[in-house]
Structure 1
Amino acid sequence: MASPPQPILEIADFIADPVEAADFPKTILRFRNDRAAAEIGLEGLGDEDWVRHFGRFEPLPGNLPQPLALRYHGHQFRVYNPEIGDGRGFLFAQLQDRAGRWLDLGTKGSGQTPYSRFGDGRLTLKGGVREILATEMLQALGVDTSRTFSLIETGEELQRGDEPSPTRSSVLVRLSHGHIRIGSFQRLAYLRSDEELKRLTDYSLRTYFGSASADPIELLRHVVEGTARLAGSYMAAGFVHGVLNSDNINITAESFDYGPWRFAPTFDPAFTAAYFDHAGLYSFGRQAEAIQWDVVQLAGSLRVIAEVDAMIAELDRFPALYREALIERFLWRLGVQPRGEAEDIALVQAIEQGLVGSGAGIDRFFFDWAGGDRRGDSPADYGAEAFAAFRERIAPYRPSRAFDHPYWSAEPCSMHIEEVEAIWARIADADDWSALHAKIDRVRAMGAALA
C-alpha cells in the first residue's frame, strides 16, 4: 500500500525552502534509538541503511523528495528577530505512528541553509551527546519531549567559542510531533500574509489536533493548554530549558531544541542554564512566565484572523491550567493519589517550601519520598524545620503505583552538569562511549519505574 502524501507538502510553498544536506567526510553511527524507530516502523533498518538515510540523507522511500528548511521569525530574549529560520537543520521526513499520528524527522547540524547567516550549519559532537541525555531524561520524567532518534559523527573539526576547539562534529536527527513554531505564525503576521496565516492555522488543527475546524481560537486553546502542561512538567522534573524564545516553542507544546539546558540540583528559582542569560529571564522559577509570554505572541500574530476578546479569554486560562499541571506532575512524580485541589496544592507548596528552605536535592527528595513514605537511609534531613509542613501534609496520602521495580532499591537517577561533563570527558579523551550507554540504561530504568 502506498504511503499517504506528507502533509507538509500542502503548505511547503510558503513555510519552507528545499535544501541540500552537507556532504560529510565521515559517517560514524554513534546512537540509534530503536525504541523510537519502532513507533514509525523503522526499527528494522540495518546500520548501513540507517547511515545512508540519517547521515547521507538519501530520501526514505515514498517520503519527502528533498529536505525542507522551515521559515520562521521569533522573539529572542524578548527582542524580535525577522532574520531566523532553520539555519542548521531541516525537515527530512514525515511518518505516521501506529495510531496514525504524523511525526516529523528533523535534523540538527545537517549543513547550511538560506537562514544560516554567518553560521556553519554544523553541530558539535558534544552538543549531540548532550541532546541525547536531555531527551532521554525528560522522557523518563514524563515531559512531552522530542526524542533523539540518531546521532552520527561526521569527521569535521569545528571551531567554537564556548568549548575547547577544534572539536568533533555530528549530525543529529530528532523525532517530533511537528516542527511548527509560534515563530512560524509570527513570520506570516509580520509579512501580513493573512491568507497563508489562515492556511497554516487550518493545517495545524487538522494535522496535529485532528480537528476539522479552521478556527484560530481553537488553535490558541490547544496551545494554551499544552504549554501550561509543559511549564508544569518542567518544574516537577527540575528542568531548565535555557532558551525559551518564541521560535523554540512548538504549537504542539512538545519540548525540543536543547542547547544550554540544565537540571537544577536544588529547587532554586533563580537557577539559570544559559551563561548568557544575565537577567535570569529564563531561570528555573520564571519558565511558566516565559512560556506564557510566548503564547501571548502567538495570539498577537492571530489577531488579524481571530476575535480579540475570545483570545484574551483563552490566554486568561493559562495560570489556572499551569497550577493544575503543577499539581498533577508533582503528584505523579511523587507517586501519590490526589486528594482534592485544596489539599493537593497545599502539598505542592509544602514540597517547594521544604526544598527551597533546606537546599535538599530535587531528585533525592522525590526518590526518598516515593509513594508518600520515606524510604531507605537517605542523608537528607527531612526532620528539618523547612519540611515541617510537608511532613504534616503528606501523612494522609496513599501510593498511586507499585514501588517494586529494582530502581527503587538503588540510588536516585539524576542528570546534573557534573555527570554530563564526565560522560563527555570519556568520549573526548578515550572515545569511550560506555558511560553514555550505561546512563541511558539507568535513565530508562527510572522511566520504567515511574510509568
Structure 2
Amino acid sequence: MFLHHRFHGLGPAFYSEERIKPLNEQRLVEINEPLAQFLNVDFKDPTTLDTLSGELDIPKCLSMVYAGHQFGGFSPKLGDGRGVLLGELETQNGDFYDLHIKGAGLTPFSRMGDGRAVLRSSIREYLVSEYMHALGIPSSRALALYDSTQAVYRERPELGAMLARVAKTHIRFGHFEYFYYSGKTDELDALMQYCLEHHFPHCLDEELPILSMFQDIVLRTANMIAHWQAVGFQHGVMNTDNFSILGETIDYGPYGFMEEYDPSWVCNHSDHEGRYAFGRQPSVGLWNLNCLARSFSNYLTRDQLVDSLKQYETRLEMHFSRLMTDKMGLSKGALTEELLKEWLAIITKEGLDYTSAFRLLSTVSKASPATLLDEVVDRSAASEFLDHYWSQRDDGRDQNEVSASMLKANPKFVLRNYLAHETIESAEQGNYLPFRKLLSVLSKPFDEHEECKELAMPSPEWGKRLEVSCSS
C-alpha cells in the first residue's frame, strides 16, 4: 500500500504530526472488500495490516487543524481531536482518496476528550457511509473496522474501536475559517492554491479561479443537501467544521433517517433548540456558506460572493425537484409543489413511514389503487391525491417501465436507528452477524432481498424518533 502525502507538504502550520495509538487487544473485525479492491489496498499484506492498526509507524501521518462555527458560535481552533490522516491513496484512474483513522488516540486538538471512538459510533458510521454511497450521495466511506477490549468512557463505559475511512478530502469550511480569522494570510493563500490544484483543477483555466472554486463549493453543497432532504436524512451536527469543500457528507455523529414525516424532527438529543432540525437543513447550508464566504473575502468582492451565494437556493430547489420527480415517477416538469404537498400531507396524516410510502407508491397502478388505499384510513383523501397524481403521471409512457424506474429511485431499505441499535448491542457481545446482515441490504438498498424483508419493516413504536448522542 503506497501512500502519498500531498497535504503534509503544506507545512506544520496546517497540522500536527501524529501516529495511531493502538487500542488494547484490538481486532480487525470487518473489511470493505469492494472498496479495498477499488483503492488497491491488499489486506493480505502484513504491511497493510500493521499500517492500519498502528503497529507500523508511518512518517508524515498527521492530524489537521481547523476552526468552525458550532451551533452558531465560533470556535477559533479545533482540529482532528481523535483522527489521523495516514496519507492519500491513488487509484488506477489517477484519483486520490484520503486514508483516515478515526479513534486513533490523543492529539493536540483533543481538548478535554480522550481521542478515542467507541464501537457504537464506529458501527453507525460504517453502516451509514456505505448506505449513503449506495444511495448515490457523495460521502466518506468505511474501509475497515477494529474493535478492542479497551474501555472508553462516555455516558457509560463502552468498548473502544477504530474506523479506517476514506474521502476525496477531509478539508472543511473550517480550514479556511481557521487561517482567515487567525490572520495567517500566507497560509490561507497556500490553502487556496492547494485546493485549486488538487481538488478544483478545472477552475484553474477560468479567468478568476478562486471565484470559480467558490461557486463550485456552493453548488456542490446545494446538491448534497437537496439529496439529504429527498431521502429524509438528517445530519444532526451541521457545524462548519463538519462540511466538506467537495460536498461530501462527512463526520457522521447523531444522524437519522426520517420515519414519520415531520420537518421539525431533531435526531440529536444535544440540539435542544432544534437548530439542525430536518426542515432547517437547507437554510443552515446557506448559513454555513455565508461563513465560508467571509474567509474568501480577501480574494473576492462582496458582489462576487453575494452573486455566488444566490446560486445556492436555485440549485438546491432544482436538484431537489429532479430527485422528487424521479421518486414519484413523473416526467420532467410534471412535479408541482401542490402535488408534492398533497402526498406529504397524506404521509403525515396517516403516520406512514417516509421511505416505505415512496416505495409503496412505486408499486401502485391505476387499475389497482388498493395497493395504497388499503394502507390508509382516509381513503377519500388518498383517492383524490391519486386522481391528481395520475393526471400528472399518465403521459403515454409504459407504466411498468415507470414503476421499474421508481423502484430504482426509492430504496426498500433504510438505516433506521432502532436497527443500528440492535446491531450494536449484538456486536458489543461479540456477534457481528446482524451487523453484516444489515450492511448487506444497505449496500444494495433498492434490491428486494426477500430473505431479509423484515429489515424493511417500519420501526416498532419504541424505535421511532430515537435521539442519538455525539458519543465522542
- Deviates further, 138-147 or 209-218: 209-218
Q: 2:56 aligns with which of 55, 58, 62?
A: 58
| Inter-partner Cα distance in structure 2 for 1:218 and 1:394 | 42
Report 1:335-414 matches (<5 A): 336=329, 338-340=331-333, 343=335, 345-370=337-362, 373=365, 377=371, 380-381=375-376, 383=379, 385=381, 388-389=384-385, 391-397=387-393, 412-414=412-414
Q: CA deviation at 1:441?
A: 1.1
Q: Deviations over 1:60-112 (max 9, x none)?
A: xxxx7231110100000000001311100021120123332221111210011
Report 1:151-190 matches (<5 A): 151-161=145-155, 165-190=156-181
Secondary structure of residue in 1 paired with 2:286: helix
| Inter-partner Cα distance in structure 1 for 2:35 and 2:370 | 34
Q: CA deviation at 1:315?
A: 0.3
Q: Which runs of 5+ in 1 are unaligned?
A: none
| Inter-partner Cα distance in structure 1 for 2:382 and 2:401 | 27
| Inter-partner Cα distance in structure 1 for 2:4 and 2:426 | 44
**Corresponding position of 1:204:** 195
Secondary structure of residue in 1 paired with 2:443: helix
| Inter-partner Cα distance in structure 2 for 1:13 and 1:231 | 33
**Corresponding position of 2:256:** 262
Query: Structure 2: which amino acid aligns with 1:327?
Result: S
Q: Deviations over 1:160-215 (max 9, x none)?
A: 12xxx321110111110101100000001111122322221221122122232573
Misfit runs of 4+, over 6 Å: 399-405
CA contact (8 A) 1:232 1:288 kept: yes
| Inter-partner Cα distance in structure 1 for 2:434 and 2:301 | 54
1:68 has 2:66 as partner: no
Residues 230 and 371 from structure 1, CA distance in 2 versus in 1: closer, same or farther, beyond 3 angstroms?
Answer: farther
Query: Structure 1: which amino acid aligns with 2:344?
Result: E
CA contact (8 A) 1:358 1:384 kept: no
| Inter-partner Cα distance in structure 2 for 1:209 and 1:229 | 17
Query: Structure 2: which amino acid aligns with 1:325?
Result: H
Secondary structure of residue in 1 paired with 2:151: strand
Residues 337 and 195 from structure 1, CA distance in 2 versus in 1: closer, same or farther, beyond 3 angstroms?
Answer: farther
| Inter-partner Cα distance in structure 2 for 1:182 and 1:82 | 13
Q: Deviations over 1:250-276 (max 9, x none)?
A: 000100111111112122101111101
Residues 144 and 447 from structure 1, CA distance in 2 versus in 1: closer, same or farther, beyond 3 angstroms?
Answer: farther
1:247 has 2:245 as partner: no
TM-score with structure 2 length normalisation? 0.85
TM-score with structure 1 length normalisation? 0.88
Q: 1:84 aligns with which of 74, 78, 81?
A: 78
CA RMSD, Structure 1 to Structure 2 (Å): 2.8
| Inter-partner Cα distance in structure 2 for 1:94 and 1:434 | 31
| Inter-partner Cα distance in structure 2 for 1:433 and 1:4 | 30
- Deviates further, 217-226 or 23-32: 23-32
Secondary structure of residue in 1 paired with 2:332: coil
**Corresponding position of 2:464:** none
Query: Structure 2: which amino acid aligns with 1:368?
Result: L
Residues 316 and 394 from structure 1, CA distance in 2 versus in 1: closer, same or farther, beyond 3 angstroms?
Answer: farther
**Corresponding position of 2:455:** none
**Corresponding position of 1:144:** 138
**Corresponding position of 1:290:** 284
Secondary structure of residue in 2 paired with 1:273: coil
| Inter-partner Cα distance in structure 1 for 2:79 and 2:53 | 22
| Inter-partner Cα distance in structure 2 for 1:391 and 1:68 | 59
Q: Deviations over 1:15-66 (max 9, x none)?
A: 2121121132222111111121222111x3217554312222636xxxx723
Secondary structure of residue in 2 paired with 1:343: coil
Q: CA deviation at 1:401?
A: 6.3
Identity %: 24
Query: Structure 1: which amino acid aligns with 2:262?
Result: D
Q: Which runs of 5+ in 2 are unaligned?
A: 449-472
1:310 has 2:308 as partner: no
| Inter-partner Cα distance in structure 2 for 1:57 and 1:384 | 66
Residues 6 and 49 from structure 1, CA distance in 2 versus in 1: closer, same or farther, beyond 3 angstroms?
Answer: closer
| Inter-partner Cα distance in structure 1 for 2:342 and 2:98 | 40
| Inter-partner Cα distance in structure 1 for 2:272 and 2:24 | 38
**Corresponding position of 1:16:** 15
CA contact (8 A) 1:23 1:56 kept: yes
CA contact (8 A) 2:3 2:89 kept: no
1:39 has 2:32 as partner: no
| Inter-partner Cα distance in structure 2 for 1:98 and 1:350 | 48
Secondary structure of residue in 2 paired with 1:317: helix
CA contact (8 A) 1:267 1:359 kept: yes
1:271 has 2:265 as partner: yes
| Inter-partner Cα distance in structure 1 for 2:380 and 2:145 | 45
Residues 415 and 368 from structure 1, CA distance in 2 versus in 1: closer, same or farther, beyond 3 angstroms?
Answer: same
Q: How many residue pairs get matched?
A: 435
Secondary structure of residue in 2 paired with 1:418: helix
Secondary structure of residue in 1 paired with 2:149: strand
| Inter-partner Cα distance in structure 2 for 1:272 and 1:376 | 33
Residues 352 and 253 from structure 1, CA distance in 2 versus in 1: closer, same or farther, beyond 3 angstroms?
Answer: same
| Inter-partner Cα distance in structure 2 for 1:400 and 1:327 | 23
Secondary structure of residue in 1 paired with 2:145: strand
| Inter-partner Cα distance in structure 2 for 1:136 and 1:178 | 17
1:129 has 2:128 as partner: no
